Amino acid sequence: MDYRTLGKTDLRVSALGFGCGNVGGLMIRSEPSERERAVARALELGINYFDTAAQYGNGQSEKNLGQVFKTLKPTAYVGTKFRLTAPDMTDISGAITRALEASLKRLDMEKVDLFQLHNQVGAERSADADMLSVADVIEQVIPTLHTLKQQGKIQFCGMT
């Protein structure tokens, strides 16, 4: 397996990551034994990065990945994502913090290696907040992510 440095981090991740999204439904709808077998095989092949999000199966992907990791106890990196919605716009910092706490609980972890914004970013915020403004990100999202990093709850942050 080839390994690469992830962005401007010190994480050496496998060139292939294990996606835990809705495609195929493995980490959302399959039996626990199937999930465990698939993750174990990925680890055997040298895959050391697992990508999930609160939106994948309404949190089921994170919960199932956490259960598999609790059983296998791998040395691997986990990245998860959060999406802000219109009601979150009154308290962006609080919404991000709550999203992280919920993800950590589902994953049964104390911290994640990568925590990423899962909204689009543009010149202006859209009415439904699917797209955040650059100002939202610079003035509220980034400072909150840095605070969570200082608290040791995330190792690195980003946008996807």
What amino acid positions are annotated as catalytic residues? 56
CB 150 within 8 Å of CB 138: no
Q: What dihedral do alpha carbons 37, 13, 115, 100 form, nearest 10°?
A: 40
What letters, b where the CB count within 10 A reaches 16 and e where it falls short, cover 63-82? bbbbbbbeeeebebbbbbbb
Q: Of the candidates 101, 102, 131, 127, which has an alpha carbon nearest to the alpha carbon of residue 117?
A: 131
d(CA 2, CA 153): 28
